[in-house]
């Protein structure tokens, strides 16, 4: 198994618990330290409590959407990188464009995702 300290810490944020569990297990299998939460407010609290190198964030969530959540995360941890994803591209298009305009989105992944997409993004943004 890879060195977790080398690979970094990743937070997965998705209101579908099965997605959060699945993504975090894929990342753990690759040697990352990974955790998941099911809403934006929990994500903000998690990054305030501990630094994460990377956050995989669903865009369309009840309460705080992905961009609103990431704005709050950036205030707490400006160096944290984000990869946004969604299965509802049509509903998220305006949010994605706004995030690009604001320079927030490092990368975007559509659901259903492939494990290799998640791993590639994690290695790109979360390794030391």
Contact 59, 95 (CB under 8 A): yes
pLDDT band (50, 70, 90) for residue 114? confident
> Which pLDDT does position 10 carry in this prediction?
95
Residue 103 confidence (pLDDT) above 50:
yes
**CA-based torsion, 86, 67, 22, 114: positive or negative:** positive
Tokens matching residue 96: 């994605």
> Which pLDDT does position 95 carry in this prediction?
66
> Which pLDDT does position 124 carry in this prediction?
87
pLDDT per residue as tens digits for the range 38-73 = 999 999 999 999 999 999 988 888 899 888 898 899
Domains of the chain (ranges, CATH numbers): 4-117 (3.40.50.2300)
């Amino acid at each position: 198994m890879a060195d977790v300290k080398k690979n970094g810490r990743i937070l997965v944020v998705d209101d579908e618990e099965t997605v959060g569990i699945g993504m975090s297990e894929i990342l753990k299998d690759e040697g990352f330290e990974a955790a998941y939460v099911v809403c934006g407010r929990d994500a903000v609290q998690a990054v305030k409590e501990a630094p994460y190198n990377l956050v995989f964030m669903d865009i369309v969530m009840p309460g705080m959407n992905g961009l609103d959540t990431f704005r709050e995360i950036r205030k707490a941890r400006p160096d944290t990188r984000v990869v946004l994803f969604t299965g509802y591209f049509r509903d998220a298009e305006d949010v994605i464009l706004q995030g690009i305009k604001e320079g927030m989105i490092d990368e975007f992944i559509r659901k259903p995702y492939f494990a290799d997409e998640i791993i590639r993004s994690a290695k790109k943004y979360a390794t030391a």
